[in-house]
Amino acid sequence: MLLPADQPGVVAPFDDVTIELCRSNPDVMIMTADLQPYVDIFRVPKERPKQFLDVGMAEQNLLSIGAGISKAGFIPIATTFACYASRRAFDQMVICMGTGPRTCVVIGFTPGITSPARIHHQSTEDLAMTRAVPHATVIDPVDATEFTQAVRASVRQPGLVYMRGLRGTVSRLLDPEKYVFEVGKTYCLRDGGGPGIIATGAGTEWAIEVSRLLEGAGIDHALLHVPTLKPARQEEIWRFCAGRSRVFTIENHNIVGGLGGLVAEVMADHGGGPRLTRLGVPDHWAPGGSLGYIRQSLGLDAESLARRIKEAA
Amino acid sequence: MKGRNLSITELEHLALKMRRNVIDICMQRGGYAGQGVALADLGASLYFHEMRPDGKGWYHDVFVNSNGHDAIMCYSAFAEQGLYTMDELRTYNADGTDVDMSPCEGRRGFVITMGSLGQGPSQAAGIAYGERVRGSDKRVYCLLSDGELQEGNVWEAAMFAGHHKLDNLVFLIDNNDLQAGGNTRNILNVEPVPEKFEAFGFKARRVNGNSIPEILDAFAEARSTKGKPYAMVCDTKLFQGSPYMQTRFPTAHFVQTDMETWKAGLAELEGLIAASHADAE
């Protein structure tokens, strides 16, 4: 299902999927808090104005108004930056959107270290926070193919859905003709012996770069993509880990509480397993700047990651 | 369920019965009795006069209670409607009960998860906005407290409701000058409340929250107000309408006391109900 390297990116896939959803379902309401063009919402306000609501610069209101909208029979897709959706309005997300059966979708853009503005615009704890909410669905998509399909799936998912959003020119890694996103499912992007790499979101893109480097160096390995952090199919993760001596997780998130946390929990629940190395944002604040610079500073560039895995292999 | 358009005398009688229910429920294991008693007149006016039945056993209009502990007022009305039995309601504050002191979404009669203060007004505004987009004539009522006005989310909701001219939305503010830690005016003064809401684009009015005629008049004004949401600022006093309990507990956020005291409070209300019944006859 992986496409060959260097595919052209997809421009503003969120705009495509939101107008498609609004055209096919009059109950979908696209919401934002003063970030309409910054989260790639372009056509819905013009073509379907009744299905667009900008609440102004008020993220607590975005999520609590959104919860009210859902109680009037709509399916809100509330968009803002991941840092605000999680840190700033977490109580509203949990209490207003997360305690009932109605579908409420929250999409947090520029997640993890993909914002250049240090700390306040970055979100390296959102997956840990939302993963701890009972019955929530938590998705970190890797590319335009998966993001588009996950947004389509989210409006059919009961209760709170928290998803990380991708904006601008978004990488195309998965073949839209072959890839089918399913909530909870894990995807083996490369089968093999040796070290296992488990990744999610942008971490999977980094892991694919690493995988190509390892392949070039003749190092056998396997790669599992886990877009749904919750509900996670723990047995699939365990089956991937079992029998290996080393497993690495790669994620665009603090190594605490996200994918690394999930895999550690799966192994602990099974009473052991391979040695786990969690790669991601170490438990301190990431620098600001370009993504390339931040990745390099944190040892998350492809070469550094590949070196860590080679040393262990 | 009782229909609409009860007379003021009938509503006052119902409010007395609701007060009695509050004491009966809270005397089992303690509860937010003072708020429940004080809100009986507003609750009777809302549940038995203002909100329109849907013909299917519930309401066409929507009531969002933001303030978890004020659920006791709802329960006291639900006993009169038959939504809950008094036997069920007497499990309030018991381990394992479904009669939550601060209910969550999906509990019988409740629309939102209450009690994380400041979040009801936005949800009510969201419902009002959604219903208007749908072309529905549903009206949405949200009860919140004066202490809750200190939460920023309330004013985000007010700004939204005023901007969108949600004239199907009514905020009911239980303005009792009390919050968990003491008098609201001393902790963080919220007055002047009507003027604040007016500044956010509401039509606002201060009423005696224990005068059913004043409450009904304000509800009528809210219904006839076009292009603006409405804020009814209900000045209330804890335990208003239950003189014995009011003397004993003038500022008690939560009441837990001996059975003798509860029984005296209950007996006083039974007497008032009997007298009110005799008056009505």
Q: What is the pLDDT of residue B92?
A: 97
- In this structure, is the dihedral angle defined by the CA atoms of residues A198, A201, A202 and A205, taken in order, positive or negative? positive
pLDDT per residue as tens digits for the range A124-158: 999 999 999 999 999 999 999 999 999 999 999 99
Is the Cβ pair B130, A74 closer than 8 Å? yes
B129: closest chain A residue by CA: A69
Instruction: Please list every residue in chain A whose beta carbon sits closer than 8 Å to the beta carbon of residue B155.
Output: none
Q: What is the end-to-end Cα distance of chain B in Å, rounded? A: 22
In 3-state terms, what secondary structure has residue A178?
Answer: coil
Q: How many helices (H) and strands (E) does chain A have?
A: 12, 14
The 3-state DSSP class for residue B173 equals strand
pLDDT digits (tens, 9 = 90+) for A10-68: 999 999 999 999 999 999 999 999 999 999 999 999 999 999 999 999 999 999 999 99
Residue of A nearest to B66 (CA): A96
Alpha helix (H) residue ranges in chain B: 8-29, 33-38, 40-45, 71-81, 86-89, 120-134, 152-163, 184-187, 193-199, 212-224, 243-248, 259-280
Mean pLDDT of A91-117: 98
- pTM for this structure? 0.96
Residue B96 has pLDDT above 60, yes or no: yes
pLDDT at B277: 78
The pLDDT value given to residue B2? 43
User: Rounded CA gap, A17 and A271, in Å?
Assistant: 42
Cβ-based contacts of B64 with chain A (< 8 Å): 68
The rounded Cα A304 to chain-centroid distance in angstroms is 22
Q: What ipTM did this prediction achieve?
A: 0.95
Give the residue numbers in A contacting B (CB under 8 Å), as ranges.
29, 50, 53, 55-56, 58, 60-61, 64-74, 91-92, 95-96, 99-101
CA–CA distance, B146 with B173 (Å, rounded to integer) = 6
Residue B49's nearest CA partner among B212, B171, B170 is B212
Judge: A65–B111 Cβ closer than 8 Å, yes or no. Answer: no
Determine whether the interchain pair A56/B122 forms a contact, defined as Cβ–Cβ distance below 8 Å.
no
C-alpha distances in angstroms, B69 versus B26, B40, B95, B203, B253?
Answer: 12, 14, 17, 27, 9
Task: Map residue B75 onto helix, strand or coil.
Answer: helix
Distance, in Å, from the CA atom of B92 to the CA atom of B3, rounded to the nearest integer, reads 27
pLDDT at B260: 97
